[in-house]
Amino acid sequence: TLEHAKLKARLEVLQRNQRHYAGEDLDSLSMKELQNLEHQLDSALKHIRSRKNQLMHESISELQKKDKALQEQNNKLSKQVKEREKE
């Protein structure tokens, strides 16, 4: 059917694009197509790095909170030990 043929053609385009994004089957691309691909990959890499940095900052913030809580707990326990030593 026509719908099946359209879906099959679309699938082939998507698979070809996926290979291009993976750096495969680049011989058939023109200079302009290679430049467009490079631009798309640069843009994707910027988004990836931005998200990675965001996650790293969130992780650092959480670790700092945990560190502060552990320091407070350590101080509390140290005080308890000193109080018991006085007894």
CA distance 61 to 58: 5
Q: How far is CA 9 from CA 36, 40, 48, 77, in A?
A: 22, 22, 29, 69
pLDDT at residue number 86: 85
How do residues 15-47 score in pLDDT, each as one tens digit? 999 999 999 999 999 999 999 999 999 999 999
pLDDT at residue number 26: 97
Residue 30 sits at the vertex; the CA angle it makes with 36 and 17, to the nearest 5 degrees, is 55
The DSSP symbol for 24 reads -
Q: How is residue 48 written in tokens? A: 């990836």
pTM for this predicted structure: 0.71
How do residues 52-84 score in pLDDT, each as one tens digit? 999 999 999 999 999 999 999 999 999 999 999
